Structure 1
Amino acid sequence: MRERDIEKYLRDQVRGVGGRAYKWTSPGNNGVPDRIVLLPGGRIAFVELKAPGKKPTALQINQQRYIAGLGMPVVVIDNKAGVDELIRKMQSQGGLQQWQ
């Protein structure tokens, strides 16, 4: 399975529960997560997608730590089950809370 397959699955599953999974590019800020996931009720998560078994780079890890330090949930997903778990966790928590 390729990263883009997992990314498409994420977009489709998030859309299916009434949310959005925006592609995030931030010029001058390399290493930011791939997607910002928004679900109804004020739920947000930053998602780095990887091919199965692949790990984030040091730059990506630094960006993830910074975002998490601001109180925002950040997750790395490398399979479809991870997408399903993300959505389940986001839906079960109150808005704007870190669920990790």
Structure 2
Amino acid sequence: MLEKIIEQKLGIAVKSAGGRCLKFITPTLDGVPDRLVLMPQGRIAFVEVKQKGQKPRPLQVLRMKQLTNLGFRCFVLDDIEQIPEIVKTLGGDAK
């Protein structure tokens, strides 16, 4: 499945759970996760979206480690089947 389709389905699930799924772009810092997920109650997470079976590049792994060291949750999403668990973990109930 294409990364674009997985991103779209994540956005739909987050929105249906009352949150926002924003494209995260930082022109001055490479390797940041693709999506910033904002959920009710101030829950925030970063999601790196990949095609099924693909893994993050070393720089992406480093950026996610830096974010988790700051206390943020980071997820790697490469299968739409993972979406309900990610949304649930962030306090939503994916539909």
Normalising to structure 1: TM-score of the pair?
Answer: 0.89
SS at match of 2:81: helix
SS at match of 2:88: helix
SS at match of 1:54: coil
Partner residue of 1:22?
22
Distance in structure 2 (CA, Å) of the matches to 1:89 and 1:74: 11
One-letter code aligned to 1:82: Q
**RMSD after superposition:** 0.9
Partner residue of 1:76?
76
Distance in structure 2 (CA, Å) of the matches to 1:35 and 1:18: 16
What are the ranges of 5 or more consecutive residues in structure 1 without an aligned counterpart? 93-100
Q: Report deviation, 1:20.
A: 0.2
SS at match of 1:41: helix
One-letter code aligned to 2:14: V
Structure 1 stretches of 4+ with a deviation exceeding 3 A read: none
Partner residue of 1:98?
none
What are the ranges of 5 or more consecutive residues in structure 2 without an aligned counterpart? none
One-letter code aligned to 1:83: I
One-letter code aligned to 2:37: V
Distance in structure 1 (CA, Å) of the matches to 2:28 and 2:42: 28
What is the 5 A alignment of 1:27-66? 27-66=27-66
Normalising to structure 2: TM-score of the pair?
Answer: 0.93
One-letter code aligned to 2:61: I
One-letter code aligned to 1:67: L
